[in-house]
Structure 1
């Protein structure tokens, strides 16, 4: 770290001393396997180029000074407390790693909010920096699971393990096939002849957190009524027919989505795209976590001749769309689709 780095220079100017550790972690886009990870399901994420960066240092005080460059805001939180705003993402990491002294923390992220795991990237970058600072004997899987605990215990979002595992373990050049129950994983190539395109719909996810926890409660109740530990254990989709609405549709999404991920492992690009299209329909109709403008953008993508498949990605209620397109055609698809979209969308990846 040198003052030639703009973040290091900004940290030094803000706090009056050099950072002692710094780390980054990427956002992720999920190609298939949405809303299955908190039911022990299968997922297929990949990392995106955009990252969250965290610089930190001990400050000798009894309070943490937390600065967000994106928000141009500094929060002060007593050691051992949680705080409000963006603070819980950081103080959760500090508290879980047993930090007993005040820290100066500077964060900057170019991961767009809305379906691309900006929060997981922030948590993993913070945990990586703390691991570096205090020489913590924690491997990348342990860091990911600690990030999940931050969401559950400090942020209040009962997420599964996919986002943090992807931010900790995935890279931008391959897919990460993850069994979220056993945490067994395999790095797989993208379908031959295709590339990934991510467009931000421009719709902020206003209901994502409350809606996410509601959906989790619904599928947990569906599991209870079906007599299984998790919907991962359901083998016959006809079992869903015994459930009352909306539990029937919620469970049908999770069970069918798991099947789509497993089918995608052996699919060529065209078939993989068809599975993405089916996933979006299921998320829209059965899980009801899409948004009219997201649906519009997905439909425009799906109608493009160079697009093999497209779907919403992330928790839903706004946010990003992911498409599998013919290799080399992502920019052309973007240039043709966005002018026809009624919202303010933008290209995120590649």
Structure 2
């Protein structure tokens, strides 16, 4: 199916945005910290036209679902909440958005920690920018996307995903200070590529403990007398806190330090070691891993030509990313996946 078949008209504009994989800097963005994502080849594509009536109409090709949305009623649910949220944050900022038809198709895996929601938000906002000739920078698009996710999808997220989907490319890493939004485009470590494998365990951010972790970090910052955990670089300062916020703070502080180490330009071997340490911290201190992710990471870390591996995204399921020897991505992904599925899991290769 395409836009023409669903809406009996040709679209006015088409826009897209990539998913992203975060190489280092997990759960640091909502602590005003540092992140290091890259874009992935998979994209979300939106086609947009004007609605013939006073309702919005949203169609998802992957879900085979068509939703009629009344702009005067409470926010839509499901995939429509992200699109409707983008429209409503634009309207709240003073822009006028007429009733529209949107056709969505995506190759970004849903529930794998690759920012399918942010890709949808950024693609939608890019499409509306083009359709309505809006004066929006790529950074403003990311900020509006974040607002849509917080206010209308119920996820109290940081800015990482939307900035990555709006500004990153597949050939570089995006080093981002999430407090100031200062950023640098950096090369991958020499001789390295990436592999991303989905664990087969999906997760929903809003119900997965993500918001709880954010609240714990805010409590830790309050007890330390600082604005955000980004303002501490010595993990020993976290030791004065009670558990579990002691361990939550320790993860964020050490994870920020790992990103800063990686951003100065280090070897693939050193970068991989930071990824391995990141996973251990996410597993033990932040407690967002699950047995399937630990099994997949262990297999990847013990596969020849892998420099390091970790869960990516919020955790509680989703995908793992590995830094590997360039040119060996496909072979490594196949070897690791076969071993992982042989022990009873159902993973799939997403990037190789």
**Distance apart, 1:235 and its partner CA:** 2.6
Q: Which whole-Å deviations, capped at 9, do the CAs of 1:170-218 have from their partners, x for residues lacking one?
A: 0000000000010000000000011111111111114664411000000
Aligned length: 342
Structure 2 partner of 1:96:
89
Matching of residues 57-206 of structure 1 within 5 Å: 57-81=49-73, 82-98=75-91, 99-113=96-110, 114-206=112-204
Moved more, 71-80 or 212-221: 71-80
Distance 1:72 1:276 in 2: 38
Query: What do the CA deviations read for 1:320-348 (whole angstroms, capped 9, x no partner)?
Result: 00000011111111221112113111111
Give, in whole Å, the separation in 2 of the partners of 1:13 and 1:252.
Answer: 53
For 2:12, the equivalent position in structure 1 comes to: 20
**In the TM superposition, what is the alpha-carbon distance from 1:80 to its structure 2 partner?**
3.8
SS, match of residue 281 in structure 1 = helix
1:264 Cα deviation after fit: 1.0
TM-score normalised by length of structure 2:
0.95
* CA shift in 2, pair 1:182/1:100, >3 Å: closer
**Distance of 1:262 and 1:235 partners within structure 2:** 11
The 10-residue stretch of structure 1 (315-324 or 13-22) with the greater mean CA deviation from structure 2? 13-22
Greater shift in the superposed pair: 91-100 or 56-65: 91-100
In the alignment, what sits opposite 1:250? 248
- Distance (whole Å) between structure 2 residues aligned to residue 258 and residue 14 of structure 1: 46
Q: Secondary structure at the match of 1:97?
A: helix
**Gap regions ≥5 residues in structure 1:** 1-6
Secondary structure of the equivalent of 2:307? strand
State the alpha-carbon separation in 2 of the partners of residues 39 and 139 from structure 1.
24
Question: Unpaired runs of 5+ in structure 2?
Answer: none
C-alpha contact 2:195 2:351 (8 A) present in aligned 1: yes
> How many angstroms apart in 2 are the aligned matches of 1:162 and 1:204?
20
Q: Distance in 2 between matches of 1:39 and 1:182?
A: 12
Using the TM superposition, name which of 73-82 and 200-209 deviates more.
Answer: 200-209
Q: Which residue of 2 aligns with 1:31?
A: 23
Give 1:94 shift: 1.3
Q: TM-score, normalised by structure 1?
A: 0.96
Q: Which runs of 4+ in 1 moved over 6 A?
A: none
> What's the offset of the Cα at 1:100?
4.4
